[in-house]
Amino acid sequence: MKEKIPSTYNVGIPAVLIMLLLQVQLLAKHTEREFDTARSLHVWQDTVPELQDSVLDLNFKNLKTKSVHKSIQDIALQGYATIPQFLKGEAAGLFLSEPTGEPGTPNYMFIRGISSPIFSNKDAYQNQPLIVLDGIPMIGPHPFSYMIQSYDIDRIGPENNLLSNIDIDNIASIEVLKDMASTAIYGPLAANGVIKIISKKSVTDNKRRISVNSFVGMANRPQVTTINGDYENRFRKQFYDLYTTDGRYNEDDTYPVYLSDSLNYRYYGVSDWSDSYYNNGLNYGVNARLSGGGRRSNFQFSLGTLQNSGIAEETNFKKYNARFQLDLQPLKWLFFHTNINAARLDRNRNQNLRNRYAMLAYIPDLSAPLAPNKDTYDAYKRILDKGFDDNYSNILEGNMTLHAQFGSFKLRSSTMVDYNEGFRDLFHHDDLMEGNSFASNYYGYSQRLIQESVASYDWKMDNSNFFVEAGNVLQWDLHKYNYAYAYKGINPNIKINLLNSDPNSGDFLNPTAFPRQLTYKFLDRTRHNLVSFFGRGTYNLQDKYTASLLLRYDGSSNAQPTNRWLFTPALSLGWNIKKEFMQDNNLIESFKVRASAGRLGILNTYDNISQGPVYTAQIGYTGNVIVPAYNGIAALVRPYEDGWIGYDMPWAYTDQANIGFDLSLSKRNFYLTLDAYVKENKNQVLTIPAYAEYGYEYSLESGMNVRNTGVELAFGGDIIPSVHSFRWNSGINLSINNNTLTALPGGLDEVVIQNRKLKVGERIDAFWLLKNEGIYQSDADVPEVNGVKKNYNGLTFKAGDPNWKDQNGDNRISSEDRVLQGNYIPKLTGSWQNDFFYKNFDLKVNLYFNLGRKILNQEMANRFDFINNENSKNVRVIKEITYWEKRGDYSKYPLYNPWSKVNAYQSSQDLFLENGSFMKLRQVSLGYNLTDLLSSRLGGGNVYVYIAANNLFTVSKYSGRDPEIANYLGYDEGYNMIIPRTFLMGFKLNL
């Protein structure tokens, strides 16, 4: 939006490179001055030389909302690999979900709430913001490969976090753009907000600069309480004592074999499995950057590497980065810029049984879980080591820009490329799978090519300025993957060979290493083209009043043919109150009011809406959703899964209005930013049950509207100004958000989808649960109406059953008695940053919090529902080795009859709904500036050393391990790793 003239469009190249960079440098000589600047701007930003400011940037600075309040030098002390991890809690209006502490895994980011219900991973993808790296709108992984999976747990590909593509030390600023004033220029891609990243620019003082930043640290293994068969036996015995007389509830009740013999040392002996499962992980990072040149020609080159290790199963994530930037001004009126960014990501992922079985679509005998002793677990790991699970991604971003300026008239032409590819090679030996070996291979890529042309004219008058620009953007997106897997190879040492090894064979496509009938192949490719035209006019009067009008016309190939195009406007207004009324007031440095309103289209993630009805079904051994066929010939197999797609479906769009003000005072460096907004997403598509009489299960219908409202506040300053070389600076940001479903397709008032209810007027992230009111101590306690006992879907309640509230008074408990309650997206998020400075020392303390949220403790529901879960073929109740770990507070739950037909411990009741609010001491760091001590040796450079600790403790009422690791539905299933406590030390050297 406010581009610099030759803007440093940073881009990335993934591939295989070597060492890399990680933390961000601190110009330690100017530590306090830069921190003050960052605080007043409320943005992470390094001091970097600008080649030239554009008129557009000058005109729009009154409207721009810079919403991240932390200095870029601070985030470099955390040692994280991904940008979302750095952003957590640092920007008002941005909520980050980090459902696992496993390094390198994807995180979900939501700006100003969620705008559509989330039922699966692919729905979470559709709520993600746009990431813009040096002007390049980055393309993310497409979620379409989830559609061939039986379980929505683990992606079949590498599932690496692609937002590890840039080293933090190369970043000059990060901005979270939320309102129409700042996002509308990015068009439909920005419907969920924008995270704008600007890389550091080259020096222009004809000097060569060298920066080296490095750290080393450790992820600390947790202290856990292990249990064994004796503990589990005593836990279950209390139920047998209550509800049985001879140790058997009925003829079908068979006590688990692995618990039936107390002399079985494997289960009743020492529980020391954690010594092999948990570990301390090594973290490190190193980065080197070289830059030089003058105003007419300059360059920058950097290399770096980083590793984040997990605390279990030897998980780790490695990345390698390289970046090159070149700026040239061959003529006074001509600028040339090119930028290339590359990254290679490698991840050693978890070895969860659940994730493995979900990937294999094969669940073996589960009658005996892994034994809780080290020898047994080590033997299991040796079998795992006979196979492999290789995951890696390559990323490349590039930008080439020509900028010509003829007086007040300017032309800019940019070609931008973003490309990422992922590989996963997987093999499991037959010793691991009851004699069935398994092999699979995944390769997929996403690529985006953008051609942007913009012409602008700046008309300067005596007391005003009028700036106009017009542009065209052509965007081509392509997503593709190939996936194949096979069972039961002819030799357990054959890793994978899906093709005949003899290319001269006339039938070489039929596999010889694996039986043809046990070989499965999938491929998919989807394209999306976007054409955009826009024009914008900005008027600035006396630097007091600013108005801007943006008009867009966008055409998408994923829209239906009858509704390809959408026209969207956006209006922004700014008023400089300081210049209007307070010119002579030295206390107030700045006081501005701004408002914006507008509309943006919402792109369809999938191309199926543009194609009309599809016919897919769940058929075959794997249970995958595929196009039904017999021997390659299409067949009619109902019911169809994906459902009916109607005609004349309009574009979905988002309307948003925002009003805010920014105030800064010269005294104590005080700043305050306040925003209030209303955002409504309309005409969204929802999959609803329909057309069963025609063989369909669902229909894709438009007409769903969701409204988000909220307030965002950021303020801070010097609590203690500089006194005797000591200063205390503090800053707080707060975000309040509430979502409401305002309309459903077809005028429906409510709809039930996948055990969830959506109801107009309610939140879209609410749980749909039965309300628990105690336990029936005897059969006589069960109420009776007209001679009929209270029942659950026809099953009469008895002693030991839960007393669920009869919401509609019909003396019958059913789904009609489930109510919407709670929410898993927090109502209030924020952080509190405190920075203390004394001479050359600095101490930084950051607290992060989520308030007003609920979590459903699925892990405890599974633990108490042991009767139904024992030997179950349900992948969601598989017992990991962590089953032998004491978790949760058992005293919170009543002793229902676990044999009851009413399924007493089902998770869809508020018995397992808990307060998920928390506050974390996210970071503490202590640094020292050595520049004064070493100034004679540094030759004008500077050096800074530090130690830091992350995630030190959590304050929460939640009884589980970590309230932050709930999944995208707000369920804590107990499978994910906790976010580890980490310690590190490092240095930053600039010469």
pLDDT tens, 738-790? 999 999 999 999 999 988 999 999 999 999 999 999 999 999 999 999 999 99
500 lies in a domain? no
Quick one: pLDDT band at residue 633, thresholds 50, 70, 90? Answer: low
The predicted structure's pLDDT at residue 295 = 84
Low-confidence winner among 125-134, 278-287, 466-475, 934-943 (lowest mean pLDDT): 934-943
Whether pLDDT at 467 is above 60: yes
Contact 147, 156 (CB under 8 A): no
**The pLDDT of residue 39:** 28
Higher pLDDT, 623 or 458: 458
- Identify the weakest region by mean pLDDT among 138-152, 244-258, 289-303, 620-634: 620-634
Is 937 contained in some domain? Answer: yes
Separation between Cα atoms, residue 120 and residue 124, nearest integer Å: 7
CA–CA gap between residue 584 and residue 138 (Å, rounded): 45
Inter-CA distances, 344 with 143, 306, 616, 975, Å = 21, 11, 36, 28
The C-alpha atoms of residue 639 and residue 619 are separated, in whole angstroms, by 10
Instruction: Write out pLDDT tens, residues 392-410.
Output: 999 999 999 999 999 999 9
State residue 320's pLDDT score: 97
User: Which are the contacts of 17, defined by CB distance < 8 A and separation ≥ 6?
Assistant: 303, 320, 321, 322, 342, 343, 344
Residue 610: the pLDDT is 84
Q: What pLDDT score does 40 carry?
A: 26
Tell me the per-residue pLDDT of 168-178, one tens digit each, with 9 for 90 and over. 888 888 999 99
Please report, for residues 306, 769, 948, 963, 973, the alpha-carbon distance to residue 103 in angstroms, rounded to integers and kept in the order given.
12, 33, 18, 18, 19
Question: Is residue 314 in a domain?
Answer: no
- Of residues 49 and 118, the one with the higher pLDDT is 118
Q: Is residue 134 part of a domain?
A: no
- Sequence-ordered list of residues with C-beta below 8 angstroms from that of 684, at least 6 positions apart, any chain: 115, 116, 602, 652, 702, 703, 704, 705, 706
Predicted local confidence at residue 435, as pLDDT: 85
Q: pTM value? A: 0.89
In 542-609, where do the E strands start and end? 545-556, 565-576, 588-602
Give the pLDDT mean for 661-683. Answer: 95
Please name which of 452, 326, 339, 322 lies closest in space to residue 395, comparing C-alpha atoms.
322
Q: Which stretch of 19-23, 277-281, 814-818, 961-965 has the lowest confidence by average pLDDT?
A: 19-23
**Angle at Cα 103 formed by Cα 114 and Cα 138, nearest 5°?**
50
Model confidence at 615, pLDDT cuts 50, 70, 90, reads low
Digit-coded pLDDT (tens) for 708-747:
999 999 999 999 998 888 999 999 999 999 999 999 999 9
Q: Which of 234-238, 541-545, 931-935 bottoms out in mean pLDDT, i.e. has the lowest?
A: 931-935
For residues 258-272, average pLDDT: 93
pLDDT value of residue 28:
29
Task: Write down the H helix ranges in 126-283.
Answer: 180-183, 229-243, 257-260, 265-268, 274-277
Q: Which residues contact 286 (CB under 8 A, 6 or more apart)?
A: 19, 20, 21, 22, 212, 213, 214, 304, 305, 306
Q: Flag whether 289 is in a domain.
A: no
- Does pLDDT of 270 surpass 70? yes
Alpha-carbon distance of 933 to 70, in angstroms, equals: 28
- Residue 737 lies in domain: 704-990
Q: What is the pLDDT of residue 493?
A: 74
> Is residue 133 pLDDT above 50, yes or no?
yes
The rounded mean pLDDT for the chain is 86
pLDDT class for 699, splitting at 50, 70, 90? Answer: confident
- Residue 882 confidence (pLDDT) above 70: yes
Residue 587 located in a structural domain: no
Least confident window among 225-239, 241-255, 864-878:
241-255
Band (10; pLDDT cuts 50, 70, 90)? very low
Amino acid code (one letter) for 949: A
Q: Find the angle CA(52)-CA(58)-CA(63) to the nearest 5 degrees.
A: 140
Contacts 24+ apart (CB under 8 A), 322-326: 322/13, 322/17, 322/18, 322/20, 323/10, 323/12, 323/166, 323/167, 323/170, 323/199, 324/299, 324/300, 325/8, 325/10, 325/199, 325/201, 325/202, 325/299, 325/300, 325/301, 326/298, 326/299
CA angle 320-141-685, nearest 5°? 160
Question: How many whole angstroms separate alpha carbon 369 and alpha carbon 271?
Answer: 14
787-788-790-796 Cα dihedral, nearest 10 degrees: 130
Residue 677 has pLDDT above 60, yes or no: yes
Where a domain ends, among 217, 239, 269? 269
- pLDDT over 60 at 460, yes or no: yes
**Cβ-proximal residues to 874 (8 Å cutoff; 6+ apart), any chain:** none
Which segments of 349-387 are extended strands (E)? Answer: none
Place of tokens 């109406």: 785
The answer as to whether 865 is a domain residue is: yes
- Asked whether residue 44 carries a pLDDT value surpassing 50, the answer given is no
Choose one of 246, 269, 292: the last residue of a domain: 269
pLDDT band at 69, cuts 50/70/90?
very low
CA-to-CA distance for 669 and 665, rounded, in angstroms? 6
Whole-number Å distance between alpha carbons of 455 and 411:
5
Q: H or E stretch including 86?
A: helix 83-87
% of the chain residues with pLDDT over 70: 86
Q: What is the mean pLDDT of residues 115-139?
A: 93
Q: Report which of residues 71 and 832 the model is more confident about.
A: 832
Q: Tell me the pLDDT tens digit for each residue of 894-925.
A: 999 999 999 999 999 999 999 999 999 999 99
Number of domains in the chain: 2
Which amino acid is residue 776, in one-letter code? Y
Q: Which residues make beta-bridge pairs with 770? A: 909
Whether residue 633 lies inside any domain: the answer is no
Residue 459 pLDDT > 90, yes or no? yes
35 confidence band (pLDDT: 50, 70, 90): very low
Query: Could you tell me the pLDDT band of residue 201, with boundaries at 50, 70 and 90?
Result: confident
Q: Tell the residue number behind the tokens 């390289």, with chain if given.
A: 322
- Give the number of other CB atoms < 10 A from CB of residue 365: 8
Strands (DSSP E) along 464-587, which ranges? 464-487, 519-541, 545-556, 565-576
Query: 629 pLDDT band (50/70/90 cuts)?
Result: low
Question: Higher model confidence: residue 452 or residue 938?
Answer: 452
Query: Which of 173-177, 617-621, 819-823 tops mean pLDDT?
Result: 819-823
Distances (CA, A) of 405 to 343, 409, 414, 451, 656: 34, 6, 15, 19, 35
Query: What is the pLDDT confidence band of residue 511, given thresholds at 50, 70 and 90?
Result: low
Using alpha carbons, list the distances in angstroms from residue 889 to 152, 233, 808, 860, 880: 29, 17, 32, 9, 19
